[in-house]
Amino acid sequence: MAKQAVLSKGIASHSGWRDYYELTKPRVVMLLLLTALVGMCLATPSWLEPQILIAGMLGIGMLSSSAAVVNHVVDHKIDSVMARTFNRPVARGKVSPRRALAFALVLAIVGFFVLAVYVNMLTAWLTLASLVGYAFIYTMYLKRATPQNIVIGGLAGATPPLLGWTAVTGEIHAYGLLLVLIVFTWTPPHFWALAIHREKDYAKANIPMLPNTHGIAFTKTCVLLYTVLLCLVCALPYLVGMSGGIYLMGSSILNAWFVYMACKLKFFPSKTTAMDTFKFSILHLMLLFVLLLLDHYL
């Protein structure tokens, strides 16, 4: 036991800034921030105030990063048994759970302070609620409790466009909620495509992900159905007059491609189709939000 403690302390002392950076899930946070930025831009017909833009992005980014760090700490045991995640800094013992938690706490306190002082209280509280939703409700409870974990937990990851919106206006608007609905509906095909590819990993870690509890065929049907639902939800910004022709054209192409990928996954998959669908889901959401932005300004 003592030897193990010395060993893990020894490894922990070799941690560098790169490990702390990795703990924040930087690429996920980048995409979250893009959706927050688009929420900000769409909330006003004029240019953004630099203070709201900078403090909003910083605060939302820090609280999202903090949530990601807590996820690494809470999940370090299951991460260490899955091939996809065994090399993560806390799972490998490169950063101790104590240090990671201290890092998460600093990020959360500074992020909340930045939002509360330089943006507004509504955004600060909503962002903190998203942190609690992801780091505690999803990671600590839902993930291990039900195969609907990511559907319910997805709400926490879907809030950034609304956070961007409230940062600019100080109030919750139906258009901001519509953007949340898009990310919320996008999350199941995004994650289940990966879970199909990594089914064995989740079985090994004893996590009740849909492919393990209900089978791969059923999960593929769910991916397809959610992708069709996503097409309908993505039409709403045009139908309610929030976005125009550029968005409609571009999003239709993106959605048609997503449905094609989901059909391929269900009816004529190759070995790489699940992973290709997962990768495409990220490109899909990124381009969809870029389109919303282009449509807003052109």
Distance, CA of 178 to CA of 162 (rounded, Å): 9
CB atoms within 10 A of CB 15: 19
Site for ligand HEM in 25-54 (CB under 6 A): 27-28, 31-32, 35
Pick the closer one to ligand FPP by CB: 63 or 104.
63
Q: Which of 35, 96, 120, 130 binds ligand FPP (CB under 6 A)?
A: 130
H or E stretch at 260: helix 245-267
The answer to whether 96 touches 76, Cβ cutoff 8 Å, is no
**CB atoms inside a 10 Å sphere around CB 163:** 29
183 binds, among ligand FPP, ligand HEM, none (CB under 5 to 8 A by kind): ligand HEM
Using the rule CB under 6 A, is 157 a contact of ligand FPP? yes
Residue 23 near residue 89 (C-beta atoms within 8 A): yes
The residue among 33 and 52 lying less far from ligand HEM, judged by its C-beta, is 33
Region binding ligand HEM by CB under 6 A among candidate stretches 38-46, 62-70, 117-125, 147-155: 147-155
Question: Which range, of 92-100, 126-134, 241-249, 286-294, touches ligand FPP by CB under 6 A?
Answer: 126-134
Report the residue number, 159 or 243, with the smaller CB distance to ligand FPP.
159
Nearest approach in angstroms of CB 5 to ligand FPP is 26
191 near ligand HEM, judged by CB under 6 A: yes
- Which residue, judged by CB position, is nearest to ligand HEM in the bound state? 157
Nearest residue to 64 (alpha-carbon basis) of 45, 37, 92:
37
Contact 76, 90 (CB under 8 A): yes
What separation, in Å, do the N-terminal and C-terminal C-alpha atoms of the chain show? 64
86 vs 218 by CB, closer to ligand FPP: 86
